[in-house]
Amino acid sequence: MNTIIALSGVVIKEMYRRKDFYVLFVLTALITLVLGAVNFFNDDRIVKYLKEVCLLLIWISSLVIAIGTAARQIPAERENRTIFPLLAKPVSRWQVILGKFFGCWLACGLCLVVFYVFFLLLSGTREHQWPVLQYLQTFGLHWSLLAIVVGLVLLGSVVLTAPSSNATISFIVVLGILFVGRHLNTVALQQPEPLSTIVYTIYFLIPHLEWFDVRDLVIYGQRLVGWGDCLLAMAYAGVYTALLLGVSWVAFRRKALNL
């Protein structure tokens, strides 16, 4: 356990030494604040567009951070040849995978906290409402989604050779699931056999990342998601993450580390 914590610590330190988060946060804050200063028909109570833009930027930033960070972990260790002394400590390969995963996930969580505190302050000062519970729920679901994303990218970093191709493919897969995942069943029903069965099988197999996207509920001030449903979704994310990490470990165990 200590090994995993130590490995995670290294990833988190790397995160705050790099400029990625700062740049993305400043950009998000700047764009949101500039948009907030725009005058629409002399009405200063218009706020939903601002929440929508801010949340969109937070989501984009979080995906960039998660995918960017996770994609370079193992390839960087191999490229710098630090993977050999690391494994000679001795640290087992599953500890490397878990350490890297927890490091990336916790680092994403820390970034998300900063983003959501900014969002809470922004919407609270404009709307004069503080739906902390809802934001907490949104944060929890968002962070759970990032666990799956980090797991997916770590698997990619073991299977694919270059971090750039891994990051690109991961982005396409994640965005594809977010945009189309929910509708694959509708698409499947409109297809002839056997395409219908194939598409429906894909629908059941892919991790349904779109469940974790409750931005609309926040933007339009809708109900809270049931806490039971929230926990179930988080458990779903946990199972998928474990599965992805398991596959990553199997692939990593068999992988020759020489360049």
Partner 1 sequence: MKKAAPIYWLLLLVACAFTLGTILQPRTASWSPRAEAGSLLKVMLGDGRSLFADYFARKADVSYHGGYYPSIFDRTKAPKDTRHMTAGEGEGEKGHDHEEAVGGSEGHEEHGQDDHHADAHEEAMSFLGPPKDIFDRFGRRFMITEHAHLEGGDAREILPWLKVAADLDPHRIETYTVASFWLRTRLGKTKEAEEFLRAGWKENPDSFEILSELGSVYYKNLKETARARNVWELALKKWDAQEPGKKEPDKLGRLQILDNLAMLEEAEGNHAKAIEYLKLAKEASPNPGAIQGHIDELSAKVK
Chain residues binding partner 1 by CB under 8 A are 38, 40-43, 45-49, 141, 182-183, 185-187, 189, 203-204, 208, 210-214, 216-217, 219-220, 222, 225-226, 229, 232-233
Nearer to partner 1, 16 or 204 (CB): 204
Name residue, tokens 């356990």: 1
Name residue, tokens 């409402």: 129
Residue 70 structure tokens: 């996770």
Nearer to partner 1, 90 or 228 (CB): 228
Pairwise CA distance, residues 63 & 28, whole Å: 13
Pairwise CA distance, residues 85 & 62, whole Å: 31
Shortest distance, position 204 Cβ to partner 1, whole Å? 7
Shortest distance, position 185 Cβ to partner 1, whole Å? 5
Nearer to partner 1, 50 or 158 (CB): 50
CA distances from residue 102 to 46, 97, 232, 246 in whole angstroms, order as listed? 39, 9, 21, 14
Nearer to partner 1, 82 or 186 (CB): 186
Nearer to partner 1, 79 or 229 (CB): 229
CA distances from residue 26 to 62, 63, 125, 178 in whole angstroms, order as listed? 13, 16, 19, 25
Shortest distance, position 220 Cβ to partner 1, whole Å? 4
Shortest distance, position 2 Cβ to partner 1, whole Å? 37
Shortest distance, position 52 Cβ to partner 1, whole Å? 8
DSSP result, 138-177: HHHHHHHHHHHHHHHHHHHHHHSS-HHHHHHHHHHHHHHH
Residue 41: CA count within 13 A, CB half-sphere? 2
